[in-house]
């Protein structure tokens, strides 16, 4: 009788593990820190942008996370308006939008993603001087207002 109870006690957890593994989805397989990594790559800081850009250059290292790296860059707006290279900023913005939408938490993060976009654009403009910087910042402001309103 003692053996039967022990076998039953051992079989129940094993069955639970098999059941859990059998019903796991791709989302369940993503590392538990996916939301934390996504957050770290969508902040307004230069270091957040640099970390995201390094990961983007080595996407295969992050494959287990199932991130959506696709981009249409600046959508229907020019990627490099007036020669200002905004395409990487637009790609990071797309990354934030697409991945937070996939996680179902987009509305809670949209404002920060848009602010990070604007900070990225301003960092591009910081590389210019005088009237060119002013024109770049004005263009950055226009792009930011567009994503705030229509993004």
Residue of 2, 49, 93, 109 marked catalytic: 93
Can you say how many angstroms the Cα of residue 37 is from the centroid of all Cα atoms in its chain?
8
CB-hemisphere CA count at 13 Å for 21? 6
C-alpha gyration radius of the chain: 22
Q: Annotated catalytic, 2?
A: no
DSSP H or E segment with residue 138? helix 130-150
Of the candidates 141, 109, 122, the one whose C-alpha atom is nearest the C-alpha of residue 40 is: 109
Q: Quote the CA–CA distance of 70 and 68 in Å, as a whole number.
A: 6
Non-local (6+) Cβ contacts of 106 within 8 A are 97, 100
Question: Catalytic site residues?
Answer: 93
């Amino acid at each position: 009788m003692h053996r039967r109870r022990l076998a039953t006690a051992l079989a129940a957890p094993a069955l639970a593990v098999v059941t859990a593994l059998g019903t796991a989805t791709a989302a369940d397989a993503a590392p538990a820190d996916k939301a934390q990594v996504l957050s770290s790559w969508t902040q307004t800081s230069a270091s957040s942008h640099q970390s995201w850009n390094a990961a983007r250059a080595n996407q295969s290292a992050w494959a287990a996370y199932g991130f959506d790296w696709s981009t249409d860059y600046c959508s229907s707006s020019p990627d490099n308006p007036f020669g200002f290279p905004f395409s990487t900023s637009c790609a990071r913005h797309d990354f934030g939008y697409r991945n937070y939408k996939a996680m179902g938490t987009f509305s809670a993060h949209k404002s920060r993603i848009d602010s990070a976009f604007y900070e990225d654009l301003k960092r591009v403009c910081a590389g210019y001087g005088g009237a060119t910087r002013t024109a770049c910042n004005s263009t950055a402001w226009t792009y930011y207002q567009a994503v705030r309103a229509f993004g």
